[in-house]
Amino acid sequence: MSQMFMETVEIRRFLCFLFLKIPEGGNHMVNTKLEKLNLLDKFLFDEAMEDAETYQAVISILMEREIELLGKPETEKEFRVSPELREVRLDVVGMDEKEKIYYTEMQQRNTGNLLRRSRYYQAHMDVSLLEPGNKDFNLLNDSCFIMIAPFDLFGKGLYRYTFEGVCRECPELKLDDGAVRIFINTKGRNREDFSDEFLDFMEYIGETTDETAARAASGRIKKIHERICGIRSSEKAGVKYMQRWEELAYAREDGIAEGEIKGEHMRLVTIICKKMKMNQSLEKIAEDLVEEVSVIEPIYNMAKNYAPDYDPKEVFKQMSFEFTGG
């Protein structure tokens, strides 16, 4: 039964792959989806920010001052300070002419842990800035973590929230440790505090369309849109986007498969418990289910501990299944 089930899962994976493949004669299906993405989407944002000029324009608009970046930004940058610790992956990382590091993250959903996550991310990033064994902490680069989101994490209606350490007892005293965290809310309300370019870009992030770009007076926003249009028309980007879809589909299929296997086991436990309440023997249950006694026996023995109710949920909770058909 288990082997047959796993073979069915593999067939479904294959069918999923077929349906998601780029059709012969072009990638129209891919580009149709790609054209619907806005800059809030991690794929489009990462692809666009691989271009140094584009990332420099975005950072300059967000900070409302001219920033010159050195070299090419890194997208989907991974930080891992130890094999035992969880890795950190950020959308885009760049450095300006003063060697200040900018980490930029696009966040579509409020997961309820973003403030502490930003702390965790920045801590990991700081560790990566010093060579192992180097204890001269003055060599740490200044760093700026920027999270862009279509929601207000703090509920004050601001477009931009900038956090730097200050002394509670003496507010004019700053903790000059070089670390800044900025949270951008694309749906802020304090329009009077920002330039037209910044406000137009906030709109463009959520509606990355020809019409929104055309309404903007900013030459930088128009250049950013040229980059977006190039990505949308690129066959290479289309294929990359489709590969991302396939990866997500496989992950989804894996989740479905695991859930279905657990469901199969739960149904088996429930049937065995019902038959045990009817005082059926191990051999009789195995015969009725067309299974080997060795398959039924571990469940049967565990269920005996829950007589006379034989609660299948409790039995299932105690069972140690390997979800690989075993």
Question: Which pLDDT tens digit goes with each residue over 145-176?
Answer: 999 999 999 999 999 999 999 999 999 999 99
**170 and 128 in contact (C-beta within 8 Å)?**
no
**19 and 241 in contact (C-beta within 8 Å)?**
no
pTM, two decimals, is: 0.65
Tokens representing residue 281 in the block: 């023997």
Q: Report the C-alpha gap between 127 and 33 in whole angstroms.
A: 39
Q: Report the C-alpha gap between 173 and 179 in whole angstroms.
A: 15
Q: Is the pLDDT of residue 7 over 60?
A: no
Better-scored residue on pLDDT, 133 or 58 = 58
Tokens representing residue 80 in the block: 């891992």
Q: What is the pLDDT of residue 210?
A: 94
